[in-house]
Amino acid sequence: MSTISRLFRAAVLALVASVLALASVAAQDQLSSFRSWNYPKHYIRHRFSLGYIDPIVANDTLGRKDATFRIVPGLAGKCSSFESVNYPNHFLRHQGYRVKLAPRSDEDLFKQDASFCIRWGLYSSSGRSFESVNYPGYYIRHTNYELWIAQPDGSTLFRKDATFIVSLPLTVYPPPVVTDTGTNPNPVRQD
């Protein structure tokens, strides 16, 4: 097999793997948590009905629940919506550009505000970004640990702030353990 054939085959296999990975993230009605790209100990969560990224540790039972969402078919009839696991029928939505947790409503505006298209990460295709259905080009991003929707400003910081790692649900699985890369070979908890 020639080098070009091997490269072409490898590229096709990589493309297929990427499409399958995106499809698995977009699979509806699954539990997931979303870890910040540039603050890897922080997860998307709701707190006092507002969206934040906060550090979540294994013994933080409430934080783990607040940071786990059910990905369901988009309430607007397309894309996806994020339903709270500890407040069923409450969804992440944007209102005044701020991301909030709100009870389900039959109003069309609520359905649009609570629907997001899962895209390849703006910073890295290893992550995902969440684009508003009714504000195309606006993505969920964190600013001062608060979640907002905003348009990209072209900066690397924005792309990192709007990229999240889809992870196992924190209600079932604790946050990952970080291994001290220094002299201590024993794992240490994230704090």
Q: What is the CATH number of the domain that holds 163?
A: 2.80.10.50
Name the phi and psi angles at 117, rounded to 5. Answer: -95, 130
Range of the domain at 44: 29-174
Phi/psi region, residue 77 (left: phi>0; alpha: psi -120 to 50; beta: rest), is left
pLDDT at 141 over 80: yes
pLDDT at 190 over 70: no
For the chain, the average pLDDT equals 86
* For range 159-184, the mean pLDDT: 78
Instruction: Tell me, yes or no, whether 83 lies in a domain.
Output: yes
Name the phi and psi angles at 52, rounded to 5. Answer: -140, 170
Locate tokens 């196992």: which residue? 168
Locate tokens 């977009």: which residue? 26
Q: Is the dihedral angle over the CA atoms 85, 24, 106, 149 positive or is it negative?
A: positive
Domain count, the chain: 1
* For range 38-49, the mean pLDDT: 97
- How far is residue 2's CA from residue 48's CA, in Å, rounded to a whole number? 60
End-to-end CA distance of the chain: 51
Instruction: Tell me, yes or no, whether 47 lies in a domain.
Output: yes
Instruction: Tell me, yes or no, whether 21 lies in a domain.
Output: no
pLDDT in tens, 46-76: 999 999 999 999 999 999 999 999 999 999 9
Name the phi and psi angles at 165, rounded to 5. Answer: -95, 120
Instruction: Tell me, yes or no, whether 22 lies in a domain.
Output: no
What is the pTM assigned to this prediction? 0.78
- How far is residue 77's CA from residue 75's CA, in Å, rounded to a whole number? 5
